[in-house]
A and B are shown apart, each in its own frame.
Chain A
Amino acid sequence: MSQRVTIDPVTRIEGHLRVDVEVDGGKVRKAWASGQMWRGVENILIGRDPRDAWAITQRICGVCTTVHAIASVRAVENALQLELPVNAQYIRNMIILAHAVHDHIVHFYHLSALDWVDVTSALRADPGKAASLAESLSTWSGNSKAEFTKVKDRLSGFVGTGQLGIFTNGYWGHPAMKLPPEINLIAAAHYLQALEVQRHANKIVSILGSKTPHIQNVAVGGVANALAVDAQSVLSVERLLAVKTWIDQLADFVKNVYLIDVAVVGGSYPEWTAIGRGFVDYLSVPDIPLDGKNTRFALPGGHIANGDLASFKEIKSHGDAYFRDGVAESVKHSWYQGGKGPLHPHQGETRPQYTDFQDDGKYSWLKSPTFYDKPMQVGPLSRVLAMVAAQHQPTIDYATHALDLVSTVAKTKVGLEALHSTIGRHAARAVACSVAVDQLATQWDLLLANMAKGDLKTFNKPTFPRGEIAGFGVHEAPRGVLSHWIVIADGKIKNYQCVVPTTWNAAPRNEKDEPGAYEACLVGTPVANPEQPLEVLRTVHSFDPCIACAVHVVDQETQPIVRVEPT
């Protein structure tokens, strides 16, 4: 007999995602992902000045402020065919990369590690053994017996009061929790250390972005940072040197703690390399532009069909027609007026039509995007696979390093194929984060070298023509491909659509009734106890869901289902 399990909401932070699964014989047979909040922020932009769009769109989401700002200015610059000074690219790139590093660290340690790590088990750990194990794996300075003893005492105190606070929602003692106490203690210690380290990434964003959490320095045409070799009031070499110190500290943590922890957790849960595969069509876009026209990039991206790296088709620029013409969104299963089939974002419409949760009809506020009529997975796994396919050596090196460690812990050879899985998405994120933190240092070097040549230019003034122009801005955001699509008429916004990473991954069924990535990946996931569907959360959390961007907040005090005032 099958059982229906509804999890609502499934995110630990931000947003509101509902997942329904039909469980039969201890496994998920069918799944539905549903965005439970109305999206329509795009409508607010119509009629406004395109130069203001980035400041407004960065308010869509509390987690991804920066990424919307970037995609938005790129969309307007694409429409204008406006070239940027390279300094502006370097500064934006550093913001993008610091934000990504921050996001990945916080996602793993603070939003998803507790799916795998049992904090209460850590109380039974021997700190000495934990230290020997951790020190055998890494040069990180925070792996001493004294450190682990301190953390264990702190956790005991916390758990002893019965006020678990941030740890309240964990599934402690669940049969799917398998890490030994020492590894749980190591992970808990790194959870706390990650809280300290993440602030370095945040400081970089706030120094370069002039403010955090909402950056202020972006402008259509470049950035508003005034560069100087010695003045106080601007982005001086002295401030940039402080940034470099934080980059180095982040790199130490990402490579000597995060990447290793993910490999150890992955190697301890080898069965999870065979769970959560779903469909294996992957999309990413190139990012970290090295020229003013967005045609050369530090990190490649593109499309991989059916998990076959040999099929990799590179997206060559941010204006590439191959990307532009491939994207469409269906609303057949979404709470919007439809009937026109999948629409290209430039023709996209956002007119709500709420029904109710209909298994075979409409059941989500998310639209269902496709790339040349096929649903895609986006995110760090797509990104890493594309970079491996493109022979990006640093990615290959970090992936090999991580998989070798996984193999050692699992005591069996684990290869690239294992990445097509729930735990593989975590591993790919750690690899992507390692690549990002190195690239952050590279972009810093490029900026300094260019300033040393006497080039301090950061802005090219845009001019808006009469008549209608259209553009699109892409960004390989932490959660995957983000695209903003704009139509400008006589200098004012005529249409605006955001196709965000979580929309790709958490999409409902599409025009051909094919499931979205979450829905496909959940099928086959084991569920030991339907009352505590930890395994379902593991697979969903492996995507790092952030529904707040995909749709936005209008939830109600007590009602699980949204009601929205039509506008």
Chain B
Amino acid sequence: MRIVVLGAGNILLGDEGLGVRAIERLPHAYCLPACIELLDAGTCGMEMLEELEDLDALIVVDAIRASREPGTLIRLVGEQVPVFFRTKLSPHQIGLCDVLATLELLARAPRYTAILGLQPQSLALGMELTPIIEAAMPELLRLIVAELGVLGVHPAPRCAALTS
């Protein structure tokens, strides 16, 4: 079993970086087994091709603009995944979208793909998340862990004293 949890987004643009921030925080909050790789993809494209080949599952964590209240948890799976890439819900999936299309062409696409994220509040310049998004981050981490649960992987939470 090989699972990649990929954080996408630009950390220079406020909440746009929430996907990267989520995968930075995940290993501090949970004990992750070796089958899980965390990938800080930023806004990259083809450089990620190799890391994403022949995966059992790909979990993309990203800022998702779905016209909801800022901080709303969003989970897209199954038929919603291609819709995500077609309708530009995220500003930097252009690169990621091409990588996944290329993996399809090579017949090495992930066997399961889920996209998890939050509706961002602000994409203004800055390296911090907005307070609303900051407050929703623990929920986002739980959503990632729940998704791993769907795949049969159950990371244990670390001691709260370590994560504070």
Contacts and interface: CB of A to CB of B under 8 A. Distances in A.
Interface in A385-414: none
A553 B45 CA distance: 14
A548 B13 CA distance: 13
A13 B98 contact: yes
A interface, by DSSP: helix, strand, loop or mixed?
A: loop
Nearest to B17: A59
B42 A552 contact: no
A354 to B, nearest CB: 14
A60 interface: yes
A63 interface: yes
B94 A213 contact: no
Given A198-B49, A565-B122, A63 B44 contact: yes
Question: Which of A102, A202, A203, A205: most chain B Cβ within 10 A?
Answer: A202
Given A198-B46, A214-B40, A567-B126, A59 B11 contact: yes
A20 B45 CA distance: 27
Given A195-B49, A553-B92, A555-B91, A158 B44 contact: no
B111 to A, nearest CB: 17
B41 interface: yes
B21 interface: no
Contact of A44 (B44, B48, B125): B125
Contacts of A137: none
A62 B49 contact: no
A65 B41 CA distance: 11
B12 A59 contact: yes
Interface string A14-40: 110000000000000000000000001
Given A41-B12, A44-B126, A158-B105, A548 B98 contact: no
Contacts of B11: 59
B79 interface: no
Interface string B92-104: 1011001001101
Given A14-B95, A552-B10, A165 B105 contact: yes
B45 A60 contact: no
B98 A62 contact: no
Contact of B46 (A43, A110, A553, A565): A110
A53 B89 CA distance: 30
Contact of A62 (B44, B67, B124): B44
Contacts of A214: 40, 42, 44
Contacts of A192: 105-106
B41 A213 contact: yes
Contacts of A40: 125
Interface in B1-30: 10-13, 16
Given A198-B49, A555-B91, A165 B42 contact: no
A567 B105 CA distance: 42
Contacts of A205: 47
Nearest to A99: B47
Which size bracket describes the interface of B in this complex?
35 or more
Given A59-B10, A557-B89, A548 B123 contact: no
Interface string B53-95: 0000000000001010000000000000000000111011011
Contacts of A202: 47, 49-50
Contacts of B41: 213
Contacts of A11: 94
Contact of A553 (B16, B40, B89): B16
A199 B50 contact: yes
B91 A14 contact: no
B49 A554 contact: no
A557 B125 CA distance: 18
Contacts of B123: 553-554, 565
Contacts of B87: 557
A59 B95 CA distance: 14
A12 B127 CA distance: 28
A61 B44 CA distance: 8
Contact of A166 (B67, B105, B125): B105
A561 to B, nearest CB: 14
B125 A62 contact: no
A258 to B, nearest CB: 15
A564 interface: yes
B126 to A, nearest CB: 7
A192 B106 CA distance: 8
A557 B84 CA distance: 11
Contacts of A106: 46
30 contacts: A13-B46, A13-B98, A14-B45, A14-B94, A41-B12, A43-B125, A56-B12, A59-B12, A59-B43, A61-B43, A62-B42, A62-B92, A102-B47, A163-B104, A165-B101, A166-B105, A198-B46, A199-B49, A202-B50, A213-B40, A214-B42, A553-B10, A553-B13, A553-B16, A553-B43, A553-B91, A554-B13, A554-B91, A555-B91, A567-B124
Interface of A: 11-15, 40-41, 43-44, 56, 59-63, 65, 102, 106, 110, 158, 163, 165-166, 192, 195, 198-199, 202-203, 205, 212-214, 548, 552-555, 557, 564-565, 567
**5 closest A-B pairs by CB:** A62-B43, A213-B44, A166-B101, A62-B44, A213-B47
